Chains A and B, each alone.
Chain A
Amino acid sequence: MSETGPAVTMRPGAPASGGVSLLAALRVVFVGGVISFRALFNWLNPYIYVPTMLISPVFQILLFAYVGRSAGVADDGFYVIGNAVQYASIPCLFAMANTIAGERFTQTLGIVLSTPVNRVALFIGRSLPVVANGWFVAMVALFVGGRVLGVDLPLRVWPGIALCVVVASASCTGLGLLQASIALRVRSTAVLSNIVFGVLLVFCGTNVALDALPAWMAGVGRVLPLTHAIEAARRVAGGAGLGDVAGLLAREAALGVAFTVAGLLALRYVEAQSRRHATLELQ
């Protein structure tokens, strides 16, 4: 007779005993989130971070500003703001996908998902540093890209733009969370992140204003993250007050919440599926 150990009856994400401790959840959110970000987002190495996160967005801005000049449409400021805010999607999408893919690569995904930790705390905690990083990347791109092209944004508009970028990064991280759930089943997360980035580039009014896009594309753009934040940032840069763009920011935030909830639900569903099909740690 052999003993195979106790049967596991705990459901994923259930507390180990005695209910969820608020303190434990907060520790998972803040301490666990930062540790995970540092461990899993391997682009924090300065030899990778500087070229990929700080220099590339400036060249994206330059590319489209010059294409705009070549085509004779819009002014440089339009492309500086659009591309800087849109580039926040690179850290947000890739880092969120890495919360799953990185764990899988290091073969710790099974361990993480077999812990009784609260899943909402786990993934929200992993999202917060991503939002902060996305904000930083976009703001640096906006500042440097603006300086290079001679787009002078007055000092008074920067706080408003900074707020727009925070909301943009948060909503895009919500989309990243949804994408992370797909990463539980799809192994090529880099491919997925690049495709989502491309969709956001085309549909969000980054380089072509929504009213110049075909109606169906503008319609798609309005239900994607970044679209409303980019428009709000452009209006703030043009002198509008925060009150004038509150509606746009509220819509952007609502989309972020919707994508975050969808992401958490999808993660719960796909996690169960992955357990059933034994696909959690397939490299």
Chain B
Amino acid sequence: MSGVRRSVRVLFTLWWLQLKIVAVSAFDGILNVIYPLFFATTAFLMFGQSGKPEALVYAGLGAAVMGTWSAMATSASGALQSQRWQGTLELLVCAPTRLALAVLPVTAALATVALYSLVATLVWGRVVFGIEVQIASPVAFVVALAVTLASLATFGFLLSVTVVRYRTGWALGNLLEYPGWLLCGFLVPLDLFPTWVQWLAQALPPTWGMAAIRSAAAGQAPWGEIAVCAGLGLGYAVLATVLSERLVDSARRNATLALT
């Protein structure tokens, strides 16, 4: 079997296996759907007070995508820590394939499950708060969403590999949840922030993904934003791949793989 075919097979098989595991996990599956709904509800109630229907639609779309960040920040950081607790992290690291190929499908599965959260929040907004999100360009919307999720998966990949070396790295995911919600333009327009914060926000793929999704929903061309989002996602994937090799070497040298 050629190297490429073997890599694709590893990626697909692991993605499918992880998807089945995550889909029935109370924390990574069920909670990732329910938890963002509390924040979406709060945001809907707050925007509802403003008395502007367009503000509620803005919040409806943003809150729906917000859950995808939540699924990635917390769950991706905890993904390898779970393997450590279960005693399978050493097996994963010793598998006769690159660590990147073993970890990326884990975060890709989390990104796939994040779709549940997005749909659930859109339905919640429609049924409970009467928010009608109109999608003017459905094809562009689907492409923007797919690229956003893929770039989130690579960002999650970067987060998850840090845990290979640092046992408490999962706390990084908890820490990043609110800043991501704040900075990626889900509920707060970026122009409310100081310039240096806007620059920081633009280094995060979901910022561009969210902008692309809003453009597609409004019927504008989102392709530039989609391209930047995809480029950033690719950049994070390369960075995570390089980092994963170094961190695994360090973890082996310091014998921290099996430490819980």
Contact = CB atoms under 8 A, between A and B. Distances in A.
Interface centre among B55, B172, B182, B193, by most chain A C-beta atoms within 10 angstroms, is B182
B95 interface: no
A201 B38 CA distance: 7
B21 interface: no
B42 A199 contact: no
B49 A198 contact: no
A254 interface: no
A56 B192 contact: no
Nearest to B34: A195
A71 B27 contact: no
Interface centre among A70, A194, A199, by most chain B C-beta atoms within 10 angstroms, is A70
A137 to B, nearest CB: 14
A150 to B, nearest CB: 13
- Chain A: number of interface residues, binned into ranges: 35 or more
B64 interface: no
A128 interface: no
A71 B38 contact: no
Contact of B35 (A69, A194, A213): A194
Given A195-B34, A195-B35, A212-B49, A67 B168 contact: no
Given A66-B188, A71-B55, A202-B41, A59 B182 contact: yes
Contacts, number: 99
Given A55-B175, A70-B192, A190-B27, A208 B35 contact: no
Contacts of B30: 191
Interface in B158-196: 166, 168, 171-172, 174-175, 177-179, 181-182, 187-189, 192-193
Contacts of B35: 194-195, 198
A68 interface: yes
Contacts of A48: 168, 171
A62 B41 contact: no
B181 A73 contact: no
A63 interface: yes
Contacts of B39: 198, 201
Chain A interface SS verdict (over half): helix
Interface string B89-118: 000000000000000000000000000000
A242 B70 CA distance: 39
Contact of A72 (B27, B50, B179): B50
B188 A70 contact: yes
A189 to B, nearest CB: 10
Contacts of B189: 70
A201 B43 CA distance: 11
Contacts of A51: 171-172, 174-175
B221 interface: no
Contacts of A68: 46
B42 A202 contact: yes
B175 A71 contact: no
Contact of B42 (A64, A190, A191): A64
A171 B31 CA distance: 25
A188 B224 CA distance: 43
A48 B166 CA distance: 11
Contacts of A216: none
Nearest to A61: B178
B141 interface: no
A195 B189 CA distance: 28
Contacts of B166: 47
Contacts of A62: 178, 182
B171 A47 contact: yes
Interface in B37-75: 37-39, 41-43, 45-47, 49-50, 55, 59
Given A73-B46, A73-B49, A191 B31 contact: yes
A60 interface: yes
Contacts of A201: 38-39, 42
Given A52-B175, A70-B189, A194-B31, 13 more contacts: A48-B168, A51-B174, A60-B178, A62-B182, A63-B178, A67-B46, A71-B46, A72-B50, A188-B26, A195-B35, A201-B42, A202-B38, A207-B45
5 contacts: A52-B175, A66-B193, A194-B31, A195-B31, A207-B42
The 3 A-B residue pairs whose C-beta atoms are closest, nearest first, are A198-B38, A59-B178, A51-B175
